[in-house]
Structure 1
Amino acid sequence: MIKIMLSLALTLFISPAMATDKGGRNPANLQLASVSAVVIDADSGEVLYKKYANMVKPIASLTKVMTAMVVLDAKLPLKEAIRFSNDDRKAINYYHSRIRVDSELPRGEVLRLALMSSENLAAAALGRNYPGGLPAFVARMNAKARALGMKNTHFVDSSGLSDKNVSTAEDLAKLVAAAAKYREIATYSTTSVYTANFSRPRYRLAYVNTNPLVRYQRWDVAMSKTGYLDEAGRCLVMKTNVDGKELLIVMLDSFGKTSPMGDAGRIKRWLASGNGGTVARAAKDYQKRKIASHLASRATASIR
Structure 2
Amino acid sequence: MHIHNALLKGLFSLWILASALVASATAELKLNAQHAIAINNETGQVLVEKNADAAVPIASLTKLMTAMVVLDSKAPMGEKINIVEDDIYTFKYSSSRVRVGTTLERAELLRLALMSSDNRAAAALARTYPGGMPAFLAAVRKKMITLGMTHSVIEEPTGLSPNNMSTAQDLAKMAAAAAKYPEIRDITTNKTELFTLNGRPLTFHNTNRLVGATGWEVLMSKTGFTNEAGHCLIMRIKEAGQSATLVLLNTRAITSSVLDAGKIRQLLSQSSQAAAHPR
- What TM-score comes out, normalization by structure 2 length? 0.86
- Distance in 2 (CA, whole Å) between partners of 1:245 and 1:23 is 18
Task: Determine helix, strand or coil for the equivalent of 1:144.
Answer: helix
Q: 1:215 Cα shift?
A: 4.4
Contact persistence 1:92–1:120 (CA under 8 A): no
Q: 1:44 to 1:101 in 2, by over 3 A?
A: same
> Which residue in 2 is equivalent to 1:288?
none
Task: Determine helix, strand or coil for the equivalent of 1:71.
Answer: helix
Percent identity of paired positions between Structure 1 and Structure 2: 45
Q: Which consecutive residues of structure 2, in runs of 5 or more, have no partner in the other structure?
A: 1-16, 272-279
> Which residue in 1 is equivalent to 2:240?
243
Q: 1:202 Cα shift?
A: 2.0
> Which residue in 1 is equivalent to 2:196?
197
Task: Determine helix, strand or coil for the equivalent of 2:211.
Answer: helix
- Distance in 2 (CA, whole Å) between partners of 1:93 and 1:256 is 20
- Find the partner of 1:257 among 247, 254, 259: 254
- Find the partner of 1:230 among 223, 227, 232: 227
Give a deviation string over 1:130-171, Cα, whole Å, max 9, x none. 122122212211210111001101101000000000000000
Paired amino acid for 1:48: L
Paired amino acid for 1:249: L
Task: Determine helix, strand or coil for the equivalent of 2:138.
Answer: helix
Q: 1:273 Cα shift?
A: 4.7
- Distance in 1 (CA, whole Å) between partners of 2:155 and 2:18 is 37
Task: Determine helix, strand or coil for the equivalent of 1:147.
Answer: helix
- Distance in 2 (CA, whole Å) between partners of 1:227 and 1:127 is 18
Q: Which moved more, 1:261-270 or 1:71-80?
A: 261-270
- Distance in 2 (CA, whole Å) between partners of 1:240 and 1:214 is 10
- Distance in 1 (CA, whole Å) between partners of 2:211 and 2:243 is 16
Task: Determine helix, strand or coil for the equivalent of 2:210.
Answer: helix
Q: 1:100 Cα shift?
A: 1.6
Write out aligned runs for 1:1-304 (5 A): 22=19, 24-25=21-22, 26=24, 27-90=26-89, 93=92, 95-198=94-197, 201-216=198-213, 218-273=215-270
Q: Which moved more, 1:91-100 or 1:241-250?
A: 91-100
Aligned residues: 254
Give a deviation string over 1:72-124, Cα, whole Å, max 9, x none. 00011111111100111146756221112111111111101111110011000
Q: 1:204 Cα shift?
A: 2.3
- Distance in 2 (CA, whole Å) between partners of 1:210 and 1:86 is 25
Q: Which moved more, 1:37-46 or 1:105-114?
A: 37-46
Paired amino acid for 1:160: G
- Distance in 1 (CA, whole Å) between partners of 2:30 and 2:183 is 34
Contact persistence 2:75–2:130 (CA under 8 A): no
> Which residue in 2 is equivalent to 1:289?
none
Paired amino acid for 1:197: T
Paired amino acid for 2:222: K
Give a deviation string over 1:46-93, Cα, whole Å, max 9, x none. 212111110111000000000000000001111111110011114675
> Which residue in 2 is equivalent to 1:4?
none
- Distance in 1 (CA, whole Å) between partners of 2:219 and 2:266 is 20
- Distance in 1 (CA, whole Å) between partners of 2:251 and 2:133 is 30
Contact persistence 1:61–1:161 (CA under 8 A): yes
Q: 1:158 to 1:217 in 2, by over 3 A?
A: farther
Q: 1:271 to 1:222 in 2, by over 3 A?
A: closer
Contact persistence 2:62–2:157 (CA under 8 A): yes
Q: 1:111 to 1:87 in 2, by over 3 A?
A: same
- Distance in 1 (CA, whole Å) between partners of 2:249 and 2:39 is 15
Superposition RMSD on alpha carbons, in Å?
1.8
Paired amino acid for 1:219: W
Q: 1:184 Cα shift?
A: 0.4
Task: Determine helix, strand or coil for the equivalent of 2:236.
Answer: strand
